[in-house]
Structure 1
Amino acid sequence: MVFQGSSAAISHTGKVRSNNQDSGYAGSNLFAVADGMGGHAGGDVASSIAVHRLEALDQPFATTSEAEAALRETIADTAADLIDTVRSRPELAGMGTTVSALLMVDDYAVIAHIGDSRIYLYRDEALTQITTDHTFVQRLVDSGRITPEEARYHPRRSVLMRVLGDMDANPELDSFIMPTQPGDRWLLCSDGLSGVVDDPHTAKAMGQGHAPGRTADALLKQALDGGAPDNVTIVIVDVGGQHPVFSGTPTIVGSASNPSGIEVPAARPGRTSWLHPARQAANEPSHFEPAAEFLEELIEEDRRRARRRRIGWIVGFVVVLGMLAAALVIGYQWTQTRYFVGADEDTVVIYQGIQQNIGPITLSTPYEDTGIELDTLPAYERTAVERTISATSIADARAIVDRLNPAGTIE
């Protein structure tokens, strides 16, 4: 049956790039995001081809297995289209695109995914990333070599391990089926959003309860406030809910929305002048799919970085240990400038140090046995000695002993 819910799609060039290589689609049953790669023109073409290929799937499916098979077949056909396009337009060689697509079939979401665009599910006030990034840094995270937080700022975070491109007619896709329920809110986005706005802020925006269009606008504003170094594409899908049910023509955004079809502008000569660094950077690809030999170099580079990180931790640990040891030595030396009067088994003794101990470590030692027997002292003085009497110096300690022993005899 036709999906019952509401949706919105929005795409923005961002603050750095000169053209939008993303494409997005929000229809009756189909929702998709594609993030193109391949320079000034190729990324636009690749993502647009992908979305227009997928558009034919925007229809009710009888079963989820039928929908999944159709998604996989259509995306594979898209790869063939990209290869054919490059044969006729060699200047587009190297182009490719990510694809994250969702087909609603009754109470299920059928998902197909390749690349680093993402699909999230917001349910019961919790945001969950449903797809897994096909990136070099995600492989490092999966192997435990870096943390997810380190992956957000890793210098190789844009290196894709899998992408829909013009080099592989049989792309390796992730596809699966998930149950969905009224109240669920799905988010499909390019890394122009997920690479700038972290999950807690995304979850907060998704949980405000606003209509999909207003929520998409709020997320886009956060990405722009964060600098938006890449194109930003957002598709939000609400299952059921309080907002009006989606109806009418599909929403197509980004490069796929070009009404005159896919246009390939002539490549402009690059400017190397220092007066135009932003424009130069804006035309560089936002993703990179490495050759096998370069991937080995990336892995070795990461090993070197990991070794430097370990050495840094070890040096820092040694420095902290050294500082702690120095503090202990200085502290112990200070305790040895203090004295107190106390008792051993039967006589009054002057001790050097302080009365406290640290575990098995004694911070005082007998300095001088006065020879004054405890039994000869009045009861209150004997009690005071047994509890110890602090002194500021050895002279002060001896003065205390003299008061205990008026005869002034210290053996």
Structure 2
Amino acid sequence: MVALRYAARTNVGLGSKSRNEDSAYAGPELLVLCDGMGGHAAGDVASSLVVSELVHLDGESHGADDSLDILERAIEEANSRLAEVMEVYPDSEGMGTTCIAMMRAGTKLAVANIGDSRAYLLREGRLTQITKDHSFVQKLLDEGRITKDEALHHPQRSLVTRVLTGRPEDTPDLSLRELRLGDRILICSDGLTDYVAEDTVAELLRSDERSPGQVADELVQVALRASTRDNVTVIVADLVLAKDGTTKPQVVGAASERRRAQTLAPLTPAEKAAQLSREASGTTLAEGPVLAEEGPTNPVLRWVRRILVAVAAVAVLGAAGWGSWTWTQQQYFVGEQDGMVTIYRGVSQDLGPISLSTPEDQTDVRVDALPVFYQSQVRRTLSADDRAGAETIVAELRRLAQAGCAPIVILPDGTRTTGIPEGAVAITVDPDDAAREALPVPTGAATSTDRPRATGDTDRTTAGPVGPVDDGASATADPARPTVQVLYPKGCP
């Protein structure tokens, strides 16, 4: 008989985040890690909600044959809960979370993954990544457009292409693995992998004499020494004999109900500085440092010294300011202007009344045509290395916008689909009329006057075949043809 010996650790990191948006759970049969996102739109709520929806899988008896199906259904239900919460609480709209969930059935391990959190397996000294990132940078790697070294420092490495956001299409990758005694598993958020080299991670994991808890502590500490700006969360688990396994579940991060009960290591100097910085944000700073005089001196010399110091300070500040301004004008980012995706030159910050950016190219991509999660990403801005990088981001956003503009077709039996059956009669429906006729029209659908008429389109009161209509011929309904209602999402061309 075998069991897991595990440990979960987390830290808010050295960035500006005042709360931990990561959540993790480690139990005898279940390991889960979620990295929430959404900023003010409750990333911590998203991660903790998904974890809480999955913990019931721990302790239940599951066979290897059905473990993947059980795990997939549980994540689907957790994703549906996200949608319900966003519907009830509009302020949470746009939140999302990555998720890696592992459910053990004997020596079999069912794995579900969505997002850019990662899972690794150390076997006989060799470290292997067993999940694949759903990220913009991974897409560039798959297409051979960047190298692995370039991916490590790419400015868009945090841009994910698939996470749990409450949409039905948010489905994870699934796999089933065979574990062996002595295997060591690592699950981590990008607060570790974005700042610590994989070779360093592998070296720490190979420390057989250290327990999972000791290794997890060291991984968090090395991320902090690397000045991680993000929350960092890790789960380390070993497959051991049953008598050596861990039995008490561990919950850390946003999902933890008793954060103060966690054992905390002493703060490092960098952590103390970051904590003080966060506490001081938004408050009036005390008076600046004053040079202390070492005994009485000549008043004239004292004033000369002060003037020289002031002149030197102004010179230094001027040089630094000019250098900073020059640097900002070499940066690019993608944001929103007048509801459209726009390429900006500069940085997305202001220096008092001075704007450090200017719009360079307003594209034809509407922000509200993007999926909700990516709308919030664009509004918070996406940085790029150069103009070419910004154009690459726009191309990806254009693809996402076009993917969401397929017409919604409602069949006579009320079933929704995106394909118009051959030979069917199409009616473009006005939501107001549909409400009076009790038609199942999705919220936010456009009326026939909300979009340009294309060849073969019909108005909302006239039925006709889909496709070109001969000049002068009226589009009339054919009783032999089935009638379907066609709606187009708002914001689509």
SS in 2 for 1:229: coil
Equivalent position of 1:173 in the other structure: 172
Mapped contact 1:137–1:151 kept (Cα < 8 A): yes
Equivalent position of 2:238 in the other structure: 238
Equivalent position of 1:224 in the other structure: 224
SS in 1 for 2:217: helix
What letter matches 1:136 in structure 2? F
Mapped contact 1:79–1:170 kept (Cα < 8 A): no
What letter matches 1:66 in structure 2? D
Mapped contact 2:94–2:376 kept (Cα < 8 A): no
Mapped contact 1:5–1:239 kept (Cα < 8 A): yes
Hey, which of these two has a bigger chunk of helix by percent? 1
C-alpha distance after superposition, 1:47-77 (max 9, x if no partner) = 0001111101113544223111111111111
Find the aligned partners of 1:114 and 1:302 in 2 and give their Cα distance: 29
Mapped contact 2:21–2:43 kept (Cα < 8 A): yes
- The 5 Å alignment of 1:4-403 reads 4-16=3-15, 17-40=17-40, 42-166=42-166, 168-209=167-208, 210-240=210-240, 244-247=244-247, 249-259=248-258, 289-290=373-374, 304-305=388-389
Mapped contact 1:135–1:161 kept (Cα < 8 A): yes
SS in 2 for 1:257: coil
What letter matches 2:186 in structure 1? L
C-alpha distance after superposition, 1:163-199 (max 9, x if no partner) = 0013x13412100101110000000011111111111
Mapped contact 1:160–1:289 kept (Cα < 8 A): no
C-alpha distance after superposition, 1:83-138 (max 9, x if no partner) = 11111111111001000011111111110000000110011111111100000000
Find the aligned partners of 1:62 and 1:78 in 2 and give their Cα distance: 19
What letter matches 1:186 in structure 2? I
RMSD: 3.4
1:273 CA drift (Å): 10
- In structure 2, relative to structure 1, the CA distance for the partners of 1:27 and 1:155 (3 Å cut) is same
What letter matches 1:127 in structure 2? L
Find the aligned partners of 2:22 and 2:138 in 1 and give their Cα distance: 22
SS in 2 for 1:238: strand
Find the aligned partners of 2:3 and 2:242 in 1 and give their Cα distance: 11
1:241 CA drift (Å): 6.3
Structure with greater Cα Rg? 1
Find the aligned partners of 1:243 and 1:184 in 2 and give their Cα distance: 16
SS in 1 for 2:229: coil
1:292 CA drift (Å): 12
- In structure 2, relative to structure 1, the CA distance for the partners of 1:206 and 1:88 (3 Å cut) is same
Mapped contact 1:162–1:289 kept (Cα < 8 A): no
Find the aligned partners of 2:245 and 2:67 in 1 and give their Cα distance: 22
Output the TM-score relative to the length of structure 2: 0.53
1:243 CA drift (Å): 9.3
What letter matches 2:201 in structure 1? T
1:303 CA drift (Å): 8.8
C-alpha distance after superposition, 1:240-265 (max 9, x if no partner) = 16993212x310000000249xxxxx
Find the aligned partners of 1:222 and 1:177 in 2 and give their Cα distance: 31
- In structure 2, relative to structure 1, the CA distance for the partners of 1:302 and 1:127 (3 Å cut) is farther
Mapped contact 2:114–2:172 kept (Cα < 8 A): yes
SS in 2 for 1:156: coil
Equivalent position of 2:439 in the other structure: none
C-alpha distance after superposition, 1:133-171 (max 9, x if no partner) = 0000000001110012211111111111000013x1341
C-alpha distance after superposition, 1:312-358 (max 9, x if no partner) = xxxxxxxxxxxxxxxxxxxxxxxxxxxxxxxxxxxxxxxxxxxxxxx
C-alpha distance after superposition, 1:19-39 (max 9, x if no partner) = 100000100100010000011
Find the aligned partners of 2:376 and 2:252 in 1 and give their Cα distance: 34
Mapped contact 1:6–1:243 kept (Cα < 8 A): no
Where does the alignment leave 5 or more consecutive residues of structure 1 unmatched?
261-270, 281-287, 309-411
Mapped contact 1:100–1:111 kept (Cα < 8 A): yes
SS in 2 for 1:164: coil
What letter matches 1:255 in structure 2? A
Mapped contact 2:30–2:58 kept (Cα < 8 A): yes
- In structure 2, relative to structure 1, the CA distance for the partners of 1:185 and 1:82 (3 Å cut) is same
Find the aligned partners of 1:120 and 1:251 in 2 and give their Cα distance: 20
Find the aligned partners of 1:98 and 1:77 in 2 and give their Cα distance: 15
What letter matches 2:145 in structure 1? R
Find the aligned partners of 2:103 and 2:377 in 1 and give their Cα distance: 37
C-alpha distance after superposition, 1:347-399 (max 9, x if no partner) = xxxxxxxxxxxxxxxxxxxxxxxxxxxxxxxxxxxxxxxxxxxxxxxxxxxxx
SS in 2 for 1:154: coil
Identical aligned residues as a percent: 38
Mapped contact 2:3–2:242 kept (Cα < 8 A): no
